[in-house]
Chain A
Amino acid sequence: MRSSRRSAMLVTLPPLAWIALFLFAPYCLLFCYSFWSLSEFQQILHHFTLANYAHLFTNPLYLTVILRSLRIAFSVVLLSLLIGYPLAFFLAFHAGHHRVLLYQAVIIPLWISYLVRAYAWKVIFGNEGVLNTLLLWSHAASHPLSFLLYSPFAVIVTLTHIYVPFVVLPVVASLEKIPRELLESSSDLGARPWQTFLRVILPLSLPGVVSGATFALLLSFGDFLAPLLLGGPSSVMIANIVANLFGADYNWPLGAAVAVVILVIVIAILSVTQRIERRERLA
């Protein structure tokens, strides 16, 4: 009894220590910083103040950027679902013996550096990029389309490209979990194929959709690289603001306050999606 308790301690202690040291402590620190302030000489004053939060909520810049980030993130989710769900459906039900190959094709891009893939879109969307060259050559456009790069459009396309696999994989998993007799039973009872899809397949795949969408939503919301590389002034996202506050302005307290707000938004989103997922699983 004693020794089993000791071995249980040995197993649980390292991860607990890891969580305490690298997750809990930094969050506490972040939280503390957000209530401190900066002196005129860029020194941190360790006095409690709500000035950072007051600044954040009164200056329209921050709210605008947060809302824009959410808008971009939701666009990415929508696009990823529009592309990912049919792909997952095909993979789960119709791919036959090409299944493994297609599955690999979805997964392999995940092994390639995010940076490389973001740069690839720069090459495609640039003024002298692949797409514009093609359009000029085929006389589909008389001059290069400049809205392609350095725009929310470029950011959304890049993020969608990167997060589609995060949607496809959980959706495939939930589609494959549906017993085939349920589909047979549905058509046996007189349902046409589209009715079977709407009434049986779609509801039963919702847990996968929700977890895939959550992934894409949260990762896009906090994304920093795509707007940095492909976005212009009109597509600055909230993570860029945080990076600037910490790295360029050295205003750590304000940066920490923005980070806490992001954290609260993320936790709110997660609690909503988890509630949906739990309800789906129970039903």
Chain B
Amino acid sequence: MSSHPVTVERDAAAPGAEPAFLRLEDVGKSFGAQRVLESISLSIDRGEFLTLLGESGSGKTTLLRIIAGFEQPTSGQIFLERQRLDNLPPHRRPVHTVFQSYALFPHMNVFDNVAYGLRVRGASKAETKSRVSTALAKVRMEAFAAHYPRQISGGQKQRVALARALVNRPKVLLLDEPLSALDANLRVEMQSELKELQRELGITFLFVTHDQSEALAISDRVVLLHRGRIEQCGSPREIYARPRSVYVATFLGKSNLLQGTVRRGMADCGIFTVPVRCSDGPTLFSLRPEAIGPASPDTADGLVQFRAQVVAEQFHGANTLFSLRCANDVELTARVAGPLHSGGIMNFAFRAEDCVPLESTEKD
């Protein structure tokens, strides 16, 4: 396919001239009577690093497989730069996948694996050789060109799988939990490598993971899927700081959930009252543990204060999780860097905007 204008070496990220690079319109999928994806609509920019985050069964992998072409959507359409994608077979889509199991061909060495996509498209010997060498160098695997997949480690297989997909200069790279088989340290290392590679190549990455900290660490934007629906979509900071629902607040990190009643812009949560911007009525609020800190004597305005007793602590190294017992036996968790006097009763404070009202449309 000569229609790939993107080169691996050059930055392809153009300033957003077109409306949307990759567009999903009402994509739905059922397996028999089971509805796996409700109608998903999503626009992805050129050069964006987008993560589909969700538990197993949330539909994230199905969505990825639909974009790759391994599954047919039951409804909806997919466009890539105005080209209809969903009626093309996988081998005609300018989209490549890095599989969770890497799916390297066991009967081919590293070089032949990476050369596969070029050879089936009839690239010349010279071109194949130079592009494969460049791709292997990019993932620092050029010394292993003659090795077979069974002779290299998991992290190395990961790199080869990446090179094998990138050598074809895909417009979109789909990554299906590519790091889940690696051990913790290697995983963090590969995360930053992936991010760096993506920035350098400017290729749109669509990354699937069930690991929320991974999603927050590497994405430009996170789409949180739950039961085949988009629960929330936004930048990692946005989605973490302003969760929209109970599900988001609890799935992404820890959160204190507080029941309160709103009347004329003030929420009464029992322990304290907070100024909020939401309509009147009973509402659930999310307050992140790290938003709470011990109140200093010269506490500024805009901080909400409450009194609590420190009843338990859990040391995590960089910080400590404290259980606080407040009035009416309400328990809150606070994440504080320094030590606190255990059993002591003291004042705590948080910024009013950190108390986030949640949508009550939870169907659980």
Task: Write the residues of chain A forming the contact surface with B, with a CB cutoff of 8 angstroms.
Answer: 179, 181-182, 184-192, 195, 199-200, 203-204, 280, 283
Q: Which 5 A-B pairs have the closest CB atoms?
A: A189-B117, A185-B103, A181-B103, A191-B120, A187-B90
Contact B97 A188 (CB under 8 A): yes
Q: Check A189 against B70 for contact (C-beta < 8 Å).
A: no
A-side contacts of B89, CB under 8 Å: 187
Known: A181-B99, A182-B103. A190 touches B117 (CB 8 A): yes
Across the interface, which residues of A come within 8 angstroms of B92, CB to CB?
Answer: 190
Q: How far is the CA of A186 from the CA of B1 in the complex (A)?
A: 15
CB of A184 within 8 A of CB of B120, answer no
How far, in whole Å, are A200 and B119 apart by their CA atoms in the complex?
Answer: 13
Interface residues of B in 81-135 (CB under 8 A from A): 89-92, 95-97, 99, 101, 103, 105-107, 116-117, 120-121
Report the Cα distance A276→B144, complex, angstroms. 25
Whether the Cβ atoms of A184 and B90 lie closer than 8 Å is: yes
Which A residues are CB-close (under 8 A) to B69?
A: 187-188
Q: For residue A283, give the distance in angstroms from its CB to the closest CB of chain B.
A: 5
Residues of A within 8 A of B96 (CB): 188-189
Q: Which residues of chain B have a CB within 8 Å of any CB of chain A?
A: 1, 68-70, 89-92, 95-97, 99, 101, 103, 105-107, 116-117, 120-121, 148, 164-165, 168
In the assembled complex, the CB of A189 is this many whole angstroms from the nearest CB of chain B, namely 4
Chain A residues with CB below 8 A from B68, complex form: 184, 188
Q: How far is the CB of A193 from chain B (nearest CB, A)?
A: 8
Closest to B117 in A: A189
Whether A283 lies near B107 (C-beta < 8 A) is: yes
The minimal Cβ–Cβ distance linking B63 to chain A, given in whole angstroms, is: 16
Give chain B residues whose Cβ lies under 8 Å from the Cβ of A192. 91, 120
Which of B91, B105, B148 meets A187, CB within 8 Å?
A: B91
Complex Cα distance, B105 from A200, in Å, reads 7
A187-B89, A189-B164 known; A181 vs B116 contact (CB < 8 Å): no
Q: B91 touching A182 by the CB < 8 A rule?
A: no
Residue pairs across A and B with Cβ atoms less than 8 A apart, 22 shown, are A181-B99, A182-B105, A182-B106, A185-B97, A185-B103, A186-B116, A188-B96, A189-B117, A189-B120, A189-B164, A189-B168, A190-B1, A190-B117, A190-B168, A191-B117, A192-B120, A195-B120, A199-B120, A203-B107, A204-B106, A204-B107, A283-B106
Is A191 a contact of B116 with CB atoms below 8 Å?
yes
Contacting residues, chain A, for B99 (C-beta < 8 A): 181, 184-185
A196 CB, min distance to chain B CBs, angstroms:
8
- Given contacts A179-B101, A181-B101, A184-B70, A189 and B116 within 8 Å (CB-CB): yes
